Amino acid sequence: MSDVVRLHHVPWGRSFRVLWLLQEMGITPELELYEIGTRKMQEPGLKDRSPAGRIPALEIDGRTIFESSAILQYLCETRREFGFGREPGQTDRVAYLEALGFAETMASLIEQLNLNHLFLRPPAKPSPAVVKLNTLRLKGTLAGLEGMIAGEYLLPSGFSAADTMLGFNLFAAPFYMDMEPFAELRAYWARLQARPAFQAAAEIEGPQTFYAKDFYPVPEAE
């Protein structure tokens, strides 16, 4: 079995979830870096590992795994000593699975906002109605997430891989949403950022360069 651990990764993209959990486990992977929208993401190197040509993909234990949730669950199941998963029969199991899925519901809205604000090129313009709708939906998921926090983390039993799944969203959401009304989420995000493994992963990432502005408002209708 190969001892190579290689993460196919876009800095401060969804693959940050995997990098962060690996750091929680004391594992620093080799990084194969990509930039969204470039030809490299459509070449066989990534598409052979992730059918949609998207990050993350993780090479570990002699296999390659794609999709954030699948990767995190695999890491938790093969490295149970860290206690970052929740096993069948445990009290928090259902809430843990719900949170993993909810993270992708929210991330899909952030992705749509990214597409409208960052990737459309003239003469294409973002639709104010679509952007407003997705921004409102994002606001709704943030309110829902705030109600899910149980103590310091999402689950009463403590930190889990579900926190790394949703942590990425809390990095991205403030570029589109005023977080001032979400006091619990802001405090939760501060606790996540204070974790040594988060800080180690952030140091590997360096400054984010994906977002050129601090905030992207809903465009005005013409």
Inform me whether the pLDDT recorded for 121 exceeds 90: no
Mean pLDDT of 141-169: 95
Q: Which two tokens stand for residue 43?
A: 């070449």
Q: How confident is the model at residue 149 (pLDDT cuts 50, 70, 90)?
A: very high
Which pLDDT belongs to residue 124?
83
Q: How confident is the model at residue 201 (pLDDT cuts 50, 70, 90)?
A: very high
Which pLDDT belongs to residue 208?
92
pLDDT tens string 75-95? 999 999 999 999 999 999 999
- Listing DSSP states for 26-91 in one string gives T---EEEE--TTSGGGGSHHHHTTSTTS-S-EEEETTEEEESHHHHHHHHHHH-GGG--S--TTST
> Percent of the chain having pLDDT more than 90?
79
State which fold the 6-82 domain adopts: Glutaredoxin (3.40.30)
Inform me whether the pLDDT recorded for 60 exceeds 80: yes
Q: How confident is the model at residue 1 (pLDDT cuts 50, 70, 90)?
A: low
Burial of 147 (0-12, 13-18, 19+ CB in 10 A): exposed
Q: CA 130 to CA 143: how far, in whole Å? A: 20
Inform me whether the pLDDT recorded for 222 exceeds 90: no
Q: CA 198 to CA 194: how far, in whole Å? A: 7
Q: What CATH number labels 93-195?
A: 1.20.1050.10
Q: Which two tokens stand for residue 151?
A: 């103590």
> Percent of the chain having pLDDT more than 70?
97
Q: Which two tokens stand for residue 92?
A: 């928090």
Which long-range contacts does 37-45 make (Cβ < 8 Å, 24+ apart)?
37/119
Name which of 47-51, 165-169, 175-179, 205-209 the model is least confident about: 47-51
Omega of the bond prior to 126 within 30 degrees of 0, cis?
A: no
Q: CA 43 to CA 204: how far, in whole Å? A: 25
Please give the model's pTM, rounded to 2 decimal places.
0.94
Q: How confident is the model at residue 40 (pLDDT cuts 50, 70, 90)?
A: confident
Inform me whether the pLDDT recorded for 133 exceeds 90: yes
Mean pLDDT over the full length of the chain: 93
The residue behind tokens 């969204």 is: 36
Q: CA 212 to CA 101: how far, in whole Å? A: 29
Q: Where are the domains of the chain?
A: 6-82, 93-195
Q: CA 29 to CA 40: how far, in whole Å? A: 20
Secondary structure string (H, E, C) spanning 122-147: CCCCCCHHHHHHHHHHHHHHHHHHHH
Name which of 24-33, 41-50, 97-106, 121-130 the model is least confident about: 41-50
